[in-house]
Structure 1
Amino acid sequence: MSEAQGKSTGVVSGAGSATTSTVISETKTAIDTHGNTFKVPDYTIKDILSAIPKTCYNRSLWWSLHYVVRDVAAIAVIGYVGTNYIPQWFPNSALLRGAAYMIQSYLIGLFGFGLWILAHECGHSAFSDYNIVNDIVGWLLHSWWMVPYFSWKFSHSKHHKATGHMTRDMVFVPYTKEEYLEMKKKSVLAEVLEEAPAVTLFNLIAQQIGGLQLYLATNATGQPYPGVSKFFKSHYWPKSPVFDAKDYWYIILSDIGILCTLGVNYLCYRAYGSHFVLINWFLPWLWVNHWLVFVTFLQHTDPTMPHYDAGEWTFAKGAAATIDRNFGFVGQHIFHDIIETHVLHHYCSRIPFYNAREATTAIKKVMGEHYRYDGENMWKSLWKVARSCQYVDGSNGVKMFRNTNNIGVKSE
């Protein structure tokens, strides 16, 4: 990969006997997948935080709770209307009833992911000023969607502390060139079909449907932890290397939340039947899984996105290795702006989402060209990213995405 060191020189002249002072600042660069020059950010985290208005940090318990009530109410209304009226609307057409039930599950899944985001706010203490309230609300909401709350909270915190770090980040850690080629050698079929769009499509479908559960169960896309079996890297295992020893009982409490959800759904099955659980919980749960992987993947993977070796990484650089995208009405009003203000979220995760747009405007003035935004349709971006971002490569501490599909710049 072609990489360079860029320099900018400023000269300050003094009068009389004063000497001329030359200040040289070096900006490390790399070449992204598109062939454009990427400049490593040179501002500090202090510069970023100083630019954010103090009012953006204000958290209102009642305003946050009103979003929980709103989303729960929307799910309840959709479920009630669909369950009771779809059979009346389409009494003679199983096909139309099926289509209507799919729409019902989809809509519940949208607001379900909205609740997931509010639980995520709780995990960052952005929901309210009261940690006990944050943890109770977060545990309830995440448990309902089969995410172990404290387990996620702890591993997600480590992700925020090391975003873009090749050996410390916790999710969507990319393959290096060497790791990717070694993986391909182990699969003859992969070697033959690696450039086929059908393979990309299959991998995307598998990722979107099962990616979250695979991550929770085996720490897939996280750090490898050599010598530890997949099960014992699980978010459900209290002694997993993902966690610290002090987290043990919190992981147990997270697992209890999962068991409670399974128990409640079993009781619903006994009382109302399998169809009720399928349409009102299981299929929406699959949608929530999809949205989480969809959003997270595209927030942290892009042809313009760097990753850093340990010697080059700083918090300010890593937080900038994220990207804001646009998901229209749904992104802003149902997904609580998690897509549109994610860069800000990585610089200061305690700012509640309803103040994040104002804070984003403020930090963009500091970040300048280092702020990333892509307003392209996110479904198009998903395909492009999957085809072009297969591994990272670089020799100067800054690694950029490359691929074997002959898209963009090739590795050396």
Structure 2
Amino acid sequence: MDKKTEFPTLTELKHSIPNECFESNLGLSLYYTVRAIFNASASVALVYAARSTPFIADSTVLNALVCALYIYVQGVIFWGFFTVGHDCGHSSFSRYHSINFIVGCIMHSAILTPFESWRITHRHHHKNTGNVDKDEIFYPHRGPDDHQDVRQWVYTLGGAWFVYLKVGYAPRTMNHFNPWDPLLIRRASAVIASIASWCAAAAGIAYLTYTYGFAKMGLYYFAPLFVFASFLVITTFLHHNDEATPWYGDAEWNYVKGNLSSVDRSYGWFVDNLSHNIGTHQVHHLFPIIPHYKLHDATAHFAAKYPHLVRKSSEPIISAFFKTAQLYVKYGAVPVNAQHFTLGEAASSATKSA
């Protein structure tokens, strides 16, 4: 796709996807919730049992390998926690607001994410995806508001997620823990309730840390939490950035163009399964009401009808991330009056003028 592409309307795009793809199933949504909790609990039990056996306990190398494998797998499972809450935030988990709120708070608080304030800023991201002037995070910076130091956050992986929760992404800053932030104040009571849930989870984690020590909690909880946050940063960044991903100025942007700029990526069967198909991002962005377990089917129908609009990358994730991050940090500054921007074009222009 390029800037001359003719885009269908959102209604036309919706007609390419069967109606049943837009219908959530509460029983199935709860199944994935219970499955994620079971997987997390089973992982803890299995690694504890494995490390208690003399065969592994007496081997530094085997113990380290078991711990590393656990941290990775549990991090992916925590990412699945996030995706369940993510469905709750979009009301694709169920059509019952109270159930969405309760499950969302439980699943997100378990991974130290304030559900309601995240839900609000994430919806703001969906409403402005691909808009240089209004998007939420990992957008190129406009002219005099160039913040290369902020773009460098992407290199901190999971660290960028926790910093974003506290201060937003400059120059559009906000605090997910402040119910009176201008973006949150209309839902202040719900934000306060979800922050209370976050505080309860944080208190429980603090108690467990005090009881069992930081070393054990570092292994069983904090290290996987960082892996989850790193996956979240990598996927959020790569779903909205590559060399050819178009960004639009506010005057040129519209919902369809902006959300079609999202990039589908696979993270391998194992990760895709435990993270609940988060890589099927284009159709999710167009129609966030579609539950995660119907995204593959919906994407297939969309691709069959509009193959020229599909934006998908099969590039290996790690190499894609570091290559694109380097482009983003170095060239992610949009000229003041530009209404169309890609990192590839910016890099090419810089090379020619050098």
TM-score (norm 2): 0.90
CA distance in 1, matches of 2:253, 2:84: 30
Counterpart position of 2:30:
65
Report 1:44-63 matches (<5 A).
Answer: 44-63=9-28
1:143 and 1:131, CA in 2 relative to 1: closer, same or farther beyond 3 A?
Answer: same
Q: 2:33, 2:81 within 8 Å by CA — same for their partners in 1?
A: yes
CA distance in 1, matches of 2:320, 2:216: 35
RMSD: 2.6
1:238 and 1:96, CA in 2 relative to 1: closer, same or farther beyond 3 A?
Answer: same
Counterpart position of 2:46:
81
Identify the structure with the greater helix proportion. Answer: 2
CA distance in 1, matches of 2:104, 2:203: 19
2:129 aligned counterpart, secondary structure: coil
Counterpart position of 1:94:
60
Work out the number of aligned pairs and report it.
350
From 163, 171, 179, the equivalent of 1:214 is 163
Runs of 4+ in 1 over 4 A off after TM superposition: 402-412
1:408 and 1:216, CA in 2 relative to 1: closer, same or farther beyond 3 A?
Answer: same
- Residue type at the aligned position of 1:96: L
Alignment of 1:296 with 2:236, yes or no, is yes
Q: CA deviation at 1:329?
A: 0.7
Q: Which has the larger radius of gyration?
A: 1
Q: In percent, how many aligned pairs have the same letter?
A: 25
Gaps of 5+ in 1: 1-28, 30-36, 188-199
1:133 aligned counterpart, secondary structure: helix
From 334, 337, 341, the equivalent of 1:399 is 341
Counterpart position of 1:153:
119
Q: CA deviation at 1:122?
A: 0.6
CA distance in 2, matches of 1:166, 1:346: 17
Counterpart position of 2:320:
381
Q: CA deviation at 1:95?
A: 4.2
1:158 and 1:204, CA in 2 relative to 1: closer, same or farther beyond 3 A?
Answer: closer
Identify the structure with the greater strand proportion. Answer: 1
Report 1:119-268 matches (<5 A).
Answer: 119-176=85-142, 178-180=144-146, 183=147, 204-206=154-156, 208-220=157-169, 224-225=171-172, 233-243=174-184, 245-268=185-208
- Residue type at the aligned position of 1:303: E
1:273 and 1:203, CA in 2 relative to 1: closer, same or farther beyond 3 A?
Answer: closer
CA distance in 2, matches of 1:384, 1:407: 18
Counterpart position of 1:361:
300
Deviation per residue, 1:303-361 (Å, 9 max, x gap) = 1111111111111111111110111113431111111x100001100111111111112
Counterpart position of 2:213:
273
CA distance in 1, matches of 2:290, 2:352: 40
2:306 aligned counterpart, secondary structure: helix
- Residue type at the aligned position of 2:195: D
Q: 1:109, 1:284 within 8 Å by CA — same for their partners in 2?
A: yes
